[in-house]
Amino acid sequence: MTVDVRVLSREDLPTAWAVLTRAFGEAVHPEDVEVELALADPARFYAAYADDRMVATAGSFAFDMAVPGAVLPVAGVTWVSVLPTYRRRGLLGGLMQRQLADLHAGGTAVAALWASESAIYGRYGYGPASWTVSVTLQRGAPFRTPVPPGRLELVEPDSPALPEIYAQVAARTPGFPARDATWWTYRLHDPAHDRGSASPLQAVLTDGGYALYAVDPVWTDSLPAGVVRVREVIAADAGATARLWRHLLDLDLTGEVQARILATDDPLLMWVLADPRRARARVRDNLWVRLVDLPQALGSRRYACPVDVVIEVSDGPAPWNTGRWRLSGDRAGAQCLPTTDPADLVVRPDDLGAAYLGGTPLRARPVEERTRGALDLASTAFGPLGPAPWCPQVF
């Protein structure tokens, strides 16, 4: 079997999408293809060919994303797939290695992805950098305090007010990718085949926030038991959060509200609900991060407390990151430079990726501490500067 990796052309993208959907066991829906392909720059997408047949894919989107104290260009890794008859032949490793090298050559410091299988990506230097909560609430769940006054208005999902609110929250929340018009088209895409029996996408707007949701009408023994399926709730403050959730929890003819992707510090869970246990919350990994250019990535973010530490890294997939690096910085700025000084910490690439957004404590990872106290100090420094890191959409 002869295998080669190629950069795709615009004409190759539909075939790559077909390979991806087959690898995931999904059907190709023509109404999805145009929306998906509009996001893809073919120069950032690859395929592995076996005997001139496309059998594996990988690519990345280019977008800006907030990190602690800054907003950086990030590669959103996506379309990673291998046809089931070509597994365990090194195809995925070859694609990821090529992508990583090209991103580094192009000056990208950070890559991020959603892991379809969480056991895969640590070997390529990605670590779980943010976490998300899914909740299921019964209609009418009581709140701790009265809802702050403010308008509520049903609007069309493509209302221009929504991007303005999103941009405000995205700029200050690590893990949030910026959305241009193409990304908003993707986020609001609402094909009939994906709804099941639920309504078309709906939107409600309040001062400082909005919610996107659909209602699945269900009747049990002639009684209404509809399910509210929340796509996203974006709020700039706790008052907006409370108004939006009160709306969702009080919708007529419903019995339950389901939301799959909430921040771990969402006010709904922290103080809005009178009894947070009613949320039946489940935590899972959210965004996985990889430092493509270690000194650039670590020097570009800000740190919660002053830190001056020498980190030793061995990075097989990205040998340019291998070495000892002195990280010094605080809330005002940072730098990360090569050094020959002895290491205070020995850290794997996936551990640095996990800690990068401030959502996974460095001390929770298998870091080797060579200087007493260095791990606690570095872990505190890598901690969040504001909201918990969180990505509200799969890409």
- pLDDT for 353 equals 98
* Selection from 194, 270, 271 nearest residue 229 by Cα: 194
Query: Same domain for 320 and 351?
Result: yes
Mean pLDDT within 43-69: 96
Output the domain CATH number for residue 276: 3.40.630.30
- pLDDT for 369 equals 98
Catalytic residues: 121, 395
User: Percent of the chain at pLDDT above 70?
Assistant: 100
* Domain span at 42: 3-108
Query: Same domain for 61 and 202?
Result: no
Total of domains in the chain? 3
Output the domain CATH number for residue 350: 3.30.1050.10
Mean pLDDT, the chain, rounded, equals: 96
- pLDDT for 3 equals 74
Binned at pLDDT 50, 70 and 90, residue 20 comes out as very high
Query: Same domain for 186 and 307?
Result: no
170 inside domain: yes
Per-residue pLDDT tens over the stretch 381-393? 999 999 999 999 9
Query: Same domain for 222 and 165?
Result: yes
CA–CA separation, 126 vs 96, rounded Å? 11
Mean pLDDT within 247-275: 96
Per-residue pLDDT tens over the stretch 165-219? 999 999 999 999 999 999 999 999 999 999 999 999 999 999 999 999 999 999 9
Q: How far is CA 273 from CA 106, 282, 283, in A?
A: 47, 16, 17
- How buried is residue 184: exposed, middle or buried, by Cβ count under 10 Å (0-12/13-18/19+)? middle
Per-residue pLDDT tens over the stretch 89-119? 899 999 999 999 999 999 999 999 999 998 9
Boundary-marking domain end, from 108, 124, 153:
108
Query: Same domain for 238 and 182?
Result: yes
Query: Same domain for 200 and 270?
Result: yes
Residue identified by tokens 């800054």 is 70
Binned at pLDDT 50, 70 and 90, residue 51 comes out as confident
Query: Same domain for 269 and 298?
Result: no
Q: Please tell me the pTM assigned to this model.
A: 0.94
pLDDT at 258 over 90: yes
